[in-house]
Structure 1
Amino acid sequence: MELRVEPVPAALKMPDKSEGREGELTEEEYESLPASASPATHMTAGAVAGVLEHAVMFPVDSVKTRMQSLQPDPKARYQSVYQGLSRIIRTEGIMRPMRGIGITMAGAGPAHALYFAGYEKLKWKLSNIIHPGSNSHIANGIAGSIATLLHDAVMNPVEVVKQRMQMYNSPYKGAWDCIQTVRRTEGVAAFYRSYTTQLTMNIPFQAMHFISYEFMQEQLNPRRQYQPHTHIISGAVAGAVAAAVTTPLDVCKTLLNTQENVALTSINISGHLSGMANAFRTVYQIGGVPAFFKGMQARIIYQMPSTAISWSVYEFFKYFLTKRKNEKSGTSI
């Protein structure tokens, strides 16, 4: 007697988590992109994400820079981001909040391209060492911290020029005039005067950023599929947490970049301020502990949407490029 095994009807089959729904990338397919895509792919996605992130939120960044001033002009004292933007536009012109955006765009593209390409390359190499065959949060944090070195090497001179142009009554005619004036009067080293402070701020910022983002993704999107709303929410939360924690360092960085004459003169400092330790001491002498948190509201308001934009754009490119790769190879998704 022959035993026949009837196939199980498709409707009764248990769904395989690795298959995903029609038109949806599986976790393995989506997360495999960084290991197989070329550095050019990550650099392109990172550059676009960086430019959009800075461009959209630049007016808020301008207000944040002014709010972090330790001895602001009475005409440039703002109680909120909205009040600051309104007053700047009303008294200085509608384009004033955008002053310095040109050089910021020129630097953000290559800086973020290097950052994301370096991050993805290091993340997978370190993951294979720490937890072979799986993604490691520890590896993500280390990779992000190392990639910050590349990012800040490009962006630190840009930040110096941008923030000097953003300040109230900025004496510079444009970015090139600012670059030439700083080089002539303070030397080339002035463009990297805040580099150690920038790294001291950005390394913990990126650590908190990635830890928060990965944690939120585990809660909202455990299968790690392309779900735009989860990337936006996770990015916003990660940006807010990281921004709040690192605001004191950002205040010190702004002081080193702008070298506010009024603030330095008020405590009898002549010449140029340099070094993170000196910046911390100066901020405390001028305003005490509260001075370290100047502009926190503006910084959080800036970072939440900018980080959400950066992650959502980057994750979209991962999804789009993965889908295109699978379609070319004939893989059904």
Structure 2
Amino acid sequence: MAQPNAEPVEDYDYESLPPNFSLLQNMAAGAFAGIAEHCAMYPIDAIKTRMQIINPASSTIGAGVIQATYRMASTEGILSLWRGMSSVIVGAGPAHAVYFATYEAVKHIMGGNQAGVHHPLAAATSGACATIASDALMNPFDVIKQRMQIQNSAKMYRSMLDCAKYVYRQEGLAAFYVSYPTTLSMTVPFTALQFLAYESISTSMNPTKKYDPVTHCLAGAVAGGFAAALTTPMDVIKTMLQTRGTATDAELRTVNGFMAGCRLLYQREGARGFFKGVRPRVLTTMPSTAICWSAYEASKAYFIHQNDKTS
């Protein structure tokens, strides 16, 4: 009599946190997914940062992604495209561990793990909670990363630690978190939109919620690109706040919040300025979110399979 119910139980258990997927395993899967996501598309992220900076010299980066990549590599060396990646590796692991642990826990509490049932509110809420927790850890590392991505940063910082010390000495601890509210204004709607789109697309493509690499990859890419395009204006302001300490422009150096950044950007570049770097942002986000979700779901499926074998 128990046999007909075996498959639905397996479907439910794959999407649930307990009992066959521990918190530690979930965090390990999230850490692996985060590092894989950021490292794979890091050079294009560096180009996006260059394009978003308010600086007369920033026009030398080039009009398109390919031209910008060529100019950056030819003038500063090919390795400049990966400068600052150590900060991402160090920060992305624990930040994404917290990210996916929070996501799974909140989604489970809100009843979003039932197979074949779509819970948009649970998906959006769990995504928002996840990013608030993870960004608190990741924001300082993101500041360091962007400082090392700007032009001529090699003359200022020898390493990630050297950059962190320099920023702390020159601008204090607040410099690592001045962009946090703006970051949340971007990442909370970004993650809510991404998780909502991901859950909607993946549920439509795979109603049983069994492990399916194609579904996870395609749903992750589409969801990430959609959310990235809509939240680009906040990303531009975030870049402004995180790199203001390197600016020679006195007005830019005194920008201390989201609204002040919006006013300055609109004065300097108009409405178009809010979408600077949108192409490399989408181009970076689509494959990176596809990699992130694929790596996370693969790790999750592996741990569950191993747990089922030993149970």
Whether the TM-score (by the shorter chain) exceeds 0.5 is: yes
How far residue 258 of structure 1 moved from its aligned partner, in angstroms, is 0.3
Comparing 32-41 with 144-153, greater Cα deviation is found at 32-41
**Could you say if the C-alpha distance between residues 178 and 27 of structure 1 is closer, same or farther in structure 2, counting changes exceeding 3 Å?**
same
**CA contact 1:44–1:113 (8 Å) conserved in 2:** yes
**Could you say if the C-alpha distance between residues 181 and 284 of structure 1 is closer, same or farther in structure 2, counting changes exceeding 3 Å?**
same
What is the 5 A alignment of 1:129-148?
136-148=119-131
How far residue 322 of structure 1 moved from its aligned partner, in angstroms, is 1.7
Aligned position for 1:173: 158
- What letter corresponds to residue 248 of structure 1 in structure 2? P
What is the 5 A alignment of 1:249-328?
249-259=234-244, 264-265=249-250, 269=251, 271-328=253-310
Structure having the larger proportion of residues in helix: 2
The answer on 1:184 being equivalent to 2:172 is no
For 1:198 and 1:82, how far apart are their aligned partners in 2? 27
Aligned position for 1:5: none
What is the 5 A alignment of 1:89-100?
89-100=73-84
Aligned position for 1:79: 63
Any gaps of 5 or more consecutive residues in structure 2? none
CA-based RMSD: 2.4
**CA contact 1:51–1:105 (8 Å) conserved in 2:** yes
**CA contact 1:34–1:121 (8 Å) conserved in 2:** no
**CA contact 1:66–1:76 (8 Å) conserved in 2:** no
**CA contact 1:33–1:322 (8 Å) conserved in 2:** no
**Could you say if the C-alpha distance between residues 271 and 253 of structure 1 is closer, same or farther in structure 2, counting changes exceeding 3 Å?**
closer
Is the partner of 2:181 in helix, strand or coil?
A: helix
For 2:252 and 2:236, how far apart are their aligned partners in 1? 20
The answer on 1:213 being equivalent to 2:195 is no
Aligned position for 2:28: 44
For 2:92 and 2:246, how far apart are their aligned partners in 1? 28
How far residue 126 of structure 1 moved from its aligned partner, in angstroms, is 2.2
**Could you say if the C-alpha distance between residues 126 and 91 of structure 1 is closer, same or farther in structure 2, counting changes exceeding 3 Å?**
same
- What letter corresponds to residue 305 of structure 1 in structure 2? P
**CA contact 1:53–1:309 (8 Å) conserved in 2:** yes
For 1:58 and 1:103, how far apart are their aligned partners in 2? 11
Any gaps of 5 or more consecutive residues in structure 1? 1-15
Aligned length: 306
- What letter corresponds to residue 227 of structure 1 in structure 2? D
Comparing 41-50 with 145-154, greater Cα deviation is found at 145-154
**CA contact 1:34–1:120 (8 Å) conserved in 2:** no
**Could you say if the C-alpha distance between residues 226 and 178 of structure 1 is closer, same or farther in structure 2, counting changes exceeding 3 Å?**
same
Comparing 138-147 with 194-203, greater Cα deviation is found at 138-147
How far residue 279 of structure 1 moved from its aligned partner, in angstroms, is 1.1
Aligned position for 1:227: 212
For 2:60 and 2:279, how far apart are their aligned partners in 1? 16
CA offsets per residue over residues 152-191 of structure 1, 9 Å max, x none?
A: 1111111111101101122323222221121111111011
**Could you say if the C-alpha distance between residues 185 and 262 of structure 1 is closer, same or farther in structure 2, counting changes exceeding 3 Å?**
closer
For 2:158 and 2:85, how far apart are their aligned partners in 1? 14
Aligned position for 1:198: 183
For 1:288 and 1:295, how far apart are their aligned partners in 2? 15
How far residue 35 of structure 1 moved from its aligned partner, in angstroms, is 5.3
For 1:166 and 1:280, how far apart are their aligned partners in 2? 22
Is the partner of 2:92 in helix, strand or coil?
A: helix
TM-score calculated relative to the size of structure 1: 0.85
Comparing 176-185 with 97-106, greater Cα deviation is found at 176-185
The answer on 1:126 being equivalent to 2:126 is no
For 1:270 and 1:247, how far apart are their aligned partners in 2? 20
For 2:270 and 2:59, how far apart are their aligned partners in 1? 23
Q: How much identity, in percent, do the aligned residues show?
A: 43
Aligned position for 1:6: none
**CA contact 2:52–2:236 (8 Å) conserved in 1:** yes
Aligned position for 2:91: 107
**CA contact 2:244–2:252 (8 Å) conserved in 1:** no
**Could you say if the C-alpha distance between residues 193 and 328 of structure 1 is closer, same or farther in structure 2, counting changes exceeding 3 Å?**
same
